[in-house]
Amino acid sequence: MPQPASTPEPSSSVPGAVHRLVDGPGGRIHLLEQGTGPLVLMIHGFPETSYSWRHQLPAVAAAGFRAVAVDVRGYGRSSAPDDVDAYRLTALVGDNVGVVHALGEETATVVGHDWGSPVAANSALLRPDMFTAAAMLSVPYAPWNPMRPTEGFARIGGSEEFYVSYFQEPGRAEAEIDPDVRGWLAGFYSALSADTMPPPDGASPFFVPSGARMRDRFPRGPLPSWLTEADLDVYSAEFARTGLTGGLNRYRNVDRDWGDLAVWDGARLTRPSLFIGGALDSSTTWMADAIAAYPRTLPGLVSSHILEGCGHWIQQERATEVNDLLTGWLHTVHA
């Protein structure tokens, strides 16, 4: 089988990792690859890229695995289709299938963070023959339920607008992001980081008053301890080049996902799984019921961990701890 094409290393180079471009159902997929052994496919969230796995790639490779982190479609150097509905969950699962085939493999363990978590979970749910285990970071697994997502998000907001609702209209969020991509990213990362997030009794950036912008409530001050100026340069350079529409289009497909996955109503994820969340992460608190339901919804769960004092960017905030939990789990499911 022909090998995926190697590409010149960009400014976001991760030492020891090889950059490749492979063909997927939606166009090209850019990925970082390091190590040999069973394939471990890592899926980032919003607003990130394959660079967010820079601490995990060498650790997973050193543990005896072929570690691969992709740029999800719409991000980095992967293709960015114009149609909003090209970013539905089933399409991203299809991209994962395409990557596994392009790498000459038959199976993979899939690991996802943030939006990558439901992409990973649904990869194992829809294609358990290929994705034989799934790790979910920050966003818990929750089976399909009868409430249309946009209706549920509208209820969460109350008198203010929940950020997922704010993201629904194409161009609206882009209008506040594009004039200062670096500043917007710094504020968004800070708002969900343990050492820079607003106090619990403060105004949340993830609820937007009428006529306001998300960034109006972003923290102002030093960067989170996990994010260096150089790291922020990498992210901001990528998104200044591509824009954030591809990532925002993931939010704009929640109702399409709901329709696509209705046949999986209440489905349990039976493949071996792992969950790691941050105790200070709003995803963990908003979805506490989903975590409590794991004995029923994740019968293959190997272990679940809530890291005290940790925010949302878990594999970057607490890289060593996440690496230990992740590689220990990988050795368990590949024993």
Beta strand pairing status for 273-278 and 301-307?
parallel
Place of tokens 């543990």: 63
Place of tokens 């090998």: 3
How many other C-beta atoms lie within 10 A of the C-beta of residue 146? 8
Alpha carbon distance 212, 217 (integer Å): 9
Torsion from C-alpha of 77, 83, 85, 90, nearest 10 degrees: -40
Residue 289 is a catalytic residue: no
Given a contact cutoff of 8 angstroms between Cβ atoms, the answer to whether 108 and 334 are in contact is no
**DSSP code of 223?**
P
How many other C-beta atoms lie within 10 A of the C-beta of residue 179? 9
| Active-site residue (options: 71, 114, 231, 260) | 114
**Residues in the chain, overall count:** 335
Q: Kindly write down the DSSP assignment for every residue of 30-67, as one continuous string.
A: EEEEE--SSEEEEE--TT--GGGGTTHHHHHHHTT-EE
**DSSP code of 222?**
S
Given a contact cutoff of 8 angstroms between Cβ atoms, the answer to whether 272 and 241 are in contact is no
Alpha carbon distance 225, 190 (integer Å): 10
Six token digits for residue 213: 């912008």
Residue 114 is a catalytic residue: yes
Alpha carbon distance 256, 225 (integer Å): 37
Catalytically active residues, by annotation: 114, 312
